[in-house]
């Protein structure tokens, strides 16, 4: 099923839902993206089992094709009974955890960066998500993974946590209530992304991270309450 048709420069592209038949292409593109990363820690690649889980119905995988080549993909995951459930980190009630889905991995071929594919895929895949089944979306991002942080903030997700996940890896935990109106904030503070303890103190005090700003050679997170 095709969800999008358009142009990248002079090249026609389509976006479609992927199936198990696309597994080899997905893994090949993921490896290409991973090999091109200067910092391999910014990406947590999906295993074959994780791809298979999503493609088997526990989520949604969308792929962008330039003619016959897979050049980008993005995944949503139904976490089911994830022992490190992000909904718990974000304060979702236990009886509502089944209404949470994750924004999972997003990969763009190094040959096709600079065309806004991250943003396009985010828009299309969220429109394709079954919002009769889900009320909340969560995601994790490594500090200083600037493209992914910009991606999450641009969609209206906020930082609800900053803690060790996945075997001791420091991650921002992003959250959005898909059915709630945008909150009105009364207070604002800006903290360097490098100051983990100060950010954790603000989060504990009820602040949420709402934006990323560049300050000289550093990046800061805007926290509001």
- pLDDT, one tens digit per residue, over 148-181 is 999 999 999 999 999 999 888 899 999 999 999 9
pLDDT mean across residues, the chain? 94
Regions of the chain where pLDDT drops below 70: none
- pLDDT, one tens digit per residue, over 60-69 is 999 999 989 9
Same domain, 7 and 110: yes
Domain that holds residue 194: 184-225
Task: Say what the pLDDT of residue 151 is.
Answer: 93
- pLDDT, one tens digit per residue, over 119-129 is 899 999 999 98
Task: Say what the pLDDT of residue 120 is.
Answer: 92
Tokens standing for 42? 């910014």
Same domain, 117 and 199: no
Task: Say what the pLDDT of residue 72 is.
Answer: 97
Alpha-carbon distance 132 to 58, whole Å? 15
Same domain, 163 and 197: no
Measured CA distances, 57 to 13, 77, 91, 155 (Å): 25, 9, 26, 24
Measured CA distances, 202 to 160, 187, 196, 198, 217 (Å): 10, 11, 10, 6, 23
Task: Say what the pLDDT of residue 39 is.
Answer: 81
DSSP state of 183: P
Task: Say what the pLDDT of residue 43 is.
Answer: 80
Residue positions counted in the chain: 225
Task: Say what the pLDDT of residue 2 is.
Answer: 82
Task: Say what the pLDDT of residue 40 is.
Answer: 79
Question: Residue 151 sits in a domain of what CATH number?
Answer: 3.40.630.30
HEC profile of 48-112: HHHHHHHHCCCEEEEEEEECCEEEEEEEEECCCCCCCCHHHHCCCCHHHHHHEEEEEEEEECHHH
Same domain, 123 and 64: yes
How many structural domains are present in the chain? 2
Task: Say what the pLDDT of residue 137 is.
Answer: 97
């Amino acid at each position: 099923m095709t969800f999008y048709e358009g142009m990248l420069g002079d090249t026609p592209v389509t976006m479609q839902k992927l199936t198990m038949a696309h597994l080899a292409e997905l893994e090949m593109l993921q490896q290409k993206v991973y090999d091109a990363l200067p910092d391999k820690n910014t990406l947590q690649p999906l295993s074959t089992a994780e791809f298979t889980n999503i493609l088997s119905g526990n989520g949604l995988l969308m792929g962008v094709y330039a003619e016959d080549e897979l050049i980008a993909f993005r995944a949503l995951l139904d976490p089911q009974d994830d022992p490190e459930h992000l909904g718990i980190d974000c304060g979702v009630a236990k009886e509502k955890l089944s209404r949470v889905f994750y924004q999972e991995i997003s990969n763009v071929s190094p040959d096709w960066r600079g065309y806004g594919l991250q943003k396009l895929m985010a828009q299309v895949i969220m429109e394709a998500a079954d919002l009769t089944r889900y009320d909340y979306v969560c995601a994790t991002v490594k500090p200083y993974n600037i493209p992914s942080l910009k991606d999450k903030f641009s969609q209206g997700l906020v930082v609800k946590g900053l803690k060790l996940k996945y075997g001791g890896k420091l991650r921002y935990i992003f959250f959005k209530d898909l059915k709630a109106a945008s909150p009105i904030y009364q207070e604002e503070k800006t903290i360097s992304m490098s100051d983990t303890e100060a950010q954790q103190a603000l989060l504990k005090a009820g602040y949420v991270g709402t934006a990323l700003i560049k300050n000289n050679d550093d990046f800061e997170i805007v926290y509001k309450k």
